[in-house]
Chain A
């Protein structure tokens, strides 16, 4: 066992131990805050270990495998951990965001009752364990298992306030839509196993390198695997679940539906890059779908008035960015954007949570002038917004430029134009939120808002500082392996600046009337407000197709299956009723029967002897 494997197992085991403790010791769980502190300590320790092994994980990859399903010859499936530069960075990101979000939740969910807070932290620990298991997985099968576990945690945490019908519905919706993609994922890995006989990444990559991988049918397999990523990373057309997932508590949205779980799809595509590289058609598809998703989600974010939903659409949009980079063959650029995006999107969500906590509404049109009331939150929120808009010298600028550069160099002009337009829209809709919520006109109820307690503002400041520091590090050292054309930085900065300026003139200076703007772009406005009818389409499919099918099945069950059984039982009853009359209860009748039977036997025996 190499030096990084044991610590990686410890990172994996700590949150799991916390979850087990909370799950099987009810008094601990019902204690609420104690459970929270336990969970925070576990993930905090995991963060320290993850930070300690990050440098060595970056230098060399280590893998440990244990046989899981034994078979004749090599085991059918193995479990283990794979620590390399990808999983090392993800370990740090996941434990860091988990830790900060769990600390933040101590204050944000402080009003919850003990048992429900304990339940929350049990789910949080389970999520941290599952996500870490996912990124450490050395085989497709193990990845799939943890993939489903994070899906379960997502379902549980979206439906945390399960007494709200909308939250329960959103949880089920998220579960079903992602399952649709997972169906493809599991079919893909099973087909891949049937072709190659292994689930292991290292073996598969070795085959890919030695050109011994059977290429026939590989495109279908990789497309199926990509479907899993489409569902999890909310790519068009399966993006509909993510905005609804905002029904969960805001820290959950920050952790699961912005920074970590939804990036699992991008991680999958990055991890399986050597396999995807063999099928350029699928890569092209990934790129186009990613860019299209980015643009579509950005337009929807422009008309949304719920601050969390704006952020949700921007998450969908940024996931599209990452996927587009992966599709253009620049999986490293996509992964880079994944890491920086994880930081500043968590920052934005937690900032939005602080705002919602203070104002008591999600509607940005009912906020305003919050900067004066809560300057700390305002500053960190603006830092996050600038990073998301891709403004130099913050972390988002460098990763976004790397994404754009890789798409441009792959010669994908169409996706590049879509992504550039998205960059403009991103800056516009984010600063629309900033100007509407933090500046502009004040509203009743916003003047007594105040900054969040230190448990909440601490994580915000840490994330804001990291966003700045990482950006500054790239300013000093350069991005290195991403040689972007010189005009690209100018272009992306110009687009971001134009977006910010446009938002400023529209929502701060009111030089442009938003209503008139909307009427000029009436069709787009109409479509975007109705989410391009995709939700309605899914709903229609559900009503028309699934419900209809279920009714058919129900009819068959009720009248054919049940009918057959009822018929059989009716016949049995009737037969029994008819036969009942033979039993007269009179001993002499029975003796008569016996005598007659013996006589028959004797006659039969005589007849046989003849």
Chain B
């Protein structure tokens, strides 16, 4: 039973990573990061359930609340970037190019 959960989590993580790597829109990238974090949450809950260890559940609650904060900060950055650069396309945010 555990394997199915882990496969699901791996799939969600891969989808999130794919989104982060391919999305041109900064908001899309943020969404990808959310998916990756939730894959982690699935893993934590699954292990807590099958190992009978409640610590995983508690940790998941933490992760969820931190994710909320992260999204708030991330979206704020996106808004500021948009104000300054008039775009949120990741391809064009290349000020650090060597």
Contact = CB atoms under 8 A, between A and B. Distances in A.
Interface of A: 580-588, 591-592, 595
A581 B17 CA distance: 25
B90 A592 contact: no
Nearest to B91: A586
B21 A588 contact: yes
B9 interface: no
B21 A582 contact: no
Contacts of A584: 94, 97-98
Among A581, A582, A588, A595, find the residue whose CB has the most chain B CB atoms closer than 10 A. Answer: A588
Contacts of B94: 584-586
Given A591-B20, A592-B21, A585 B95 contact: yes
A585 B91 CA distance: 9
Given A592-B21, A595-B17, A585 B90 contact: no
A582 B93 CA distance: 16
Nearest to A576: B98
Contacts of B96: 583, 585
B98 A583 contact: yes
Contacts of B22: 588
B93 A587 contact: yes
Contacts of A591: 20-21
Given A581-B98, A582-B98, A588 B29 contact: yes
Interface string B10-21: 000000010011
Nearest to A580: B98
Contacts of B93: 585-587
Contact of A588 (B20, B95, B98): B20
Contacts of A580: 98
Contacts of A585: 93-98
B18 to A, nearest CB: 10
Contacts of B91: 586
A82 B20 CA distance: 90
B97 A583 contact: yes
A589 B63 CA distance: 26
Contacts of A583: 96-98
Among B22, B90, B94, B98, find the residue whose CB has the most chain A CB atoms closer than 10 A. Answer: B98
B21 to A, nearest CB: 6
Contacts of A581: 98
20 contacts: A581-B98, A582-B98, A583-B96, A583-B98, A584-B94, A584-B98, A585-B93, A585-B95, A585-B96, A585-B97, A585-B98, A586-B91, A586-B93, A587-B29, A587-B90, A587-B93, A588-B22, A588-B29, A591-B21, A595-B17
Nearest to A586: B94
B19 to A, nearest CB: 11
A583 B98 CA distance: 5
A411 to B, nearest CB: 89
B57 to A, nearest CB: 26
A588 B90 contact: yes
A585 B96 CA distance: 4
B17 to A, nearest CB: 6
A582 B96 CA distance: 11
Nearest to A595: B17
The 4 closest A-B pairs by CB, nearest first: A585-B97, A583-B98, A585-B94, A585-B96
A592 B93 CA distance: 16
Nearest to B17: A595
Contacts of B97: 583-586
Contacts of B90: 586-588
Contacts of B98: 580-585
Among A580, A581, A587, find the residue whose CB has the most chain B CB atoms closer than 10 A. Answer: A587
Interface in B78-95: 90-91, 93-95
B78 to A, nearest CB: 12
Given A581-B98, A585-B97, 13 more contacts: A580-B98, A582-B98, A583-B97, A584-B94, A584-B97, A584-B98, A585-B94, A585-B95, A586-B90, A586-B93, A587-B90, A588-B21, A591-B20
Interface in B44-91: 90-91
A580 B96 CA distance: 11
Nearest to A582: B98
A587 B20 CA distance: 10
A591 B17 CA distance: 9
A60 to B, nearest CB: 85
Contacts of B21: 588, 591-592, 595
A592 B18 CA distance: 10
B93 to A, nearest CB: 7
Nearest to B20: A591
B70 to A, nearest CB: 15
A587 B21 CA distance: 9
A583 B95 CA distance: 10
